[in-house]
Amino acid sequence: QVHLVESGGGLVQPGGSLRLSCASSGRIFASTQMAWSRQAPGKQRELVAAIAGDYTTNYADSVKGRFSISRDNIKKMVYLQMNSLEPEDTAVYYCYARIRKSDIVIEGRGYLEVWGQGTLVTVSS
């Protein structure tokens, strides 16, 4: 019973900025690993940014220095600040959660992976 809902996508000119938001509900915990991925037409979905429970972050080389992921565990929100956007950033962006099953049920093993429905980001002049 975990739901992720993305928002904040839209049309922006090259060099512009957008902030994507991911609202989560259900069994999301401070230990849950969160991430943003994206998928352009005809391409495979790729990981863009990830943030762990200890706030450690990782970014795809293509967005390093331009994107920043953050999380608010109290509000159960995850954000992706995107600056200096390029046409190549055009894609549907998906929120992702990797939930430790032991946080859900006693003696749980492994992880539960959940994706949102996505929000479209279009970078064009």
Task: Report yes or no: 49 and 36 within 8 Å, Cβ to Cβ.
Answer: yes
Which pLDDT score is estimated for 26? 87
CA nearest to 24, candidates 100, 116, 120 = 116
Name residue 44's amino acid.
Q
Q: Could you report the per-residue pLDDT of 11-31, keeping only the tens digit for each?
A: 999 999 999 999 999 888 888
Is residue 113 very low, low, confident or very high in pLDDT (cuts 50, 70, 90)? very high
pLDDT band at 106 (very low <50, low <70, confident <90, very high): confident
For 102, phi and psi rounded to 5 degrees? -65, -15
pLDDT (tens digit per residue) in 34-80: 999 999 989 999 999 999 989 999 999 999 999 999 999 999 999 99
Which pLDDT value is given to residue 103? Answer: 87
Q: Which residues of 26-61 are buried (b: 16+ CB within 10 A; e: fewer)?
A: ebbeeebbbbbbbeeeeeeeeebbbbeeeeeeebee
pLDDT in the model for residue 98: 94
pLDDT computed for residue 27 by the predictor: 83
